[in-house]
Structure formats: structure tokens, C-alpha cells
Amino acid sequence: MREEQCKQIQNFLRTGDYSSAINFLMNIKQESQNNLDYLYYSAHIARKMGNLAQAEDFCKKAIALSPNSRDINFELGIIYQVKGDYKKAIEFLKKLVENNLKNVHWTDMVDTLNSLALTYKKAHDFENALKYYNLALETLAQKIYEDIKCNPIKEVEMDNTISTQGWMRLAVGIVVKNSAKDGITKVLVPDGETATKLLQQNPLVGVAFYDEDGKRYILPVYFSAFSNALKFDIFFSNIVNNIGTLYTESSDYKRASECYQEAIEFTPPGVKYDDPHIGLKSLNR
């Protein structure tokens, strides 16, 4: 398929106009029926329309052309997940995680990890579901960490309405992991007085970390920047909500409630996301 044809299909998908998308694909079938993009979009639309057998057939033709295609393997994983064949779904989604971890865009990897976790959840495998939800959060945190480390930080205010602490463990954990790679053996979060002293002694405007004597201090601006980044990305709220549903199903209602509250607090401004509100309301009945 030509680039402009792919863009046209994407426009139809964006608006949910599957009828027009199908008609468009039918019109270019003769010239494109052995094209990877054509097969992928045909499979995706067939799945969205509930025709799983046809979607699977398109995917099998596509994977014969490109066995390592991220889109095709992901589509097959979702098809098998919807069909309830969790073993096959896990096989295709784990293939992406294990083989393409460094070769795909971070949003695709977060999406894949989230979908893999959901598949394990549907298969009633709590341990692996939680593992891959946390890996999805870590992937998101790594992207935020790299952005903060590589770019000067503008001073931002911490949102005082944020009351839960799960995100702070994520923020500190990703610093610890990256500090170990840098040869830093100790990471410290200074109290307010120490942080002020460090900034007075070393006026590091816009810097998130300060290294001294083999130690890395996380400065307050890092937490402000990290929390603000999370609040403008629906991925975090969505994954934390999913973890909440996992805890709900395992009857750990305290942790479930904490997750739902955090998902609500970090829902991006202007985004209507009812799921954590519904989950929290159900727990409080």
C-alpha cells in the first residue's frame, strides 16, 4: 500500500468508520492483496467487526511475509486473547517483548506489556499479570526519566491534591536502576533542609540530580517533573487502574482502592476516564 492509502485507512479507523475502510480496501484489493499493510489493516478491521476467523486468516498470510512484524504479532496476540486462547495470545505477545524490546517505540512496548498483563489476568495468573503491568509502568517511567535527565527542567509546582504515594516509589525506583548503570552505589532523597543546602551550595537550576562522593541526590524538581509527566499521559492512569482490577479480583481491596484513587488523581486534564471511579465505587458499596 502506498503511504497516502495507509493514511486514508488510518483516518477511517480514527473515526470508527469501518464501512468506509472496508470499501476502501475492497477497491485496492487487486493491487494490494499480498501487501503487508493491506493484510494488517484487513485483519485489524475484521477483528474490530467481530470476524475473528477472517482476522486470523489475514494475519497468517501476513506473518508468512514478515514473521517478526510487530503489528502482525500484536494483532494475532489480541485475536487469540479475544478468542480465549490465552496460551497462543501469550506466545505472540511475549515474542514481541522478548525479541523487540529495544527496537520498537516505547508507546508500542507499553501497549504490548499492558496487553500481555491483561492476557495473564484473563488466564487467572495473578503473578505474571502483576509482573507485566509493573514492567509497563517501568517502561513508561524510563521514558520520563530519560526526558528529565536529558532536558533542563522548568520549575513546576507540585500538585498538592496528589495524596497517594505509589507513583513516588516508581519515580525513585527508576532512578535507582539507572544510577546502578552509572556506577552510583547509593541514591538518597534529601529532606527539605538538605535539599535547600545542596541547591544553595550548588545552584543547579533545572537539574534533577546531584552526584557527590559516589552518592546521587534526587532533587525536589525531579519529583515535580515526574508527577507532571504522569498526569499528562493516560498510560499511567490506565495501567494503575488495571492493577486495581487485578487486586480486586484477588480480594485485596485495600491495594485495589489505593490503585483506583491514584488512577483518578493522575487522569490527564480534560480526559473522561470512568473506569477507576466505577471500580472505587464498587469497592465502597
Spatial separation of the C-alpha atoms in residues 109 and 106, rounded to whole Å: 5
Give me the residue spans of the domains in the chain.
1-86, 141-285
pLDDT tens-digit map of 161-202: 434 468 988 998 899 899 888 888 888 876 666 666 656 665
pTM reported for the whole predicted model: 0.84
Mean pLDDT, residues 46-73:
91
pLDDT at 160: 39
Query: What pLDDT is recorded for position 145?
Result: 92
Q: Give me the percent of the chain exceeding a pLDDT of 70.
A: 87
The residue ranking higher by pLDDT, 256 or 208, is 256
pLDDT for 75 beyond 50 = yes
* pLDDT score, position 201: 61
Reply yes or no on whether the pLDDT at 217 is more than 90: no
User: What's the CATH class of domain 1-86?
Assistant: mainly alpha
Give the tens place of pLDDT for each residue, 138-160.
999 999 999 888 765 444 333 43
Beta strands 209-212 and 186-188 are unpaired
Weakest-pLDDT range from 15-24, 195-204, 214-223: 195-204
Question: Which of 40-54, 80-94, 109-123, 215-229 is the least confident region?
Answer: 215-229
Maximum mean pLDDT: which of 125-139, 142-156, 216-230: 125-139
**Between residues 131 and 30, the one the model is more confident about:** 131
What is the average pLDDT score of the chain? 86
DSSP bridge partners of 218: 209
pLDDT at residue 265 in the model: 93
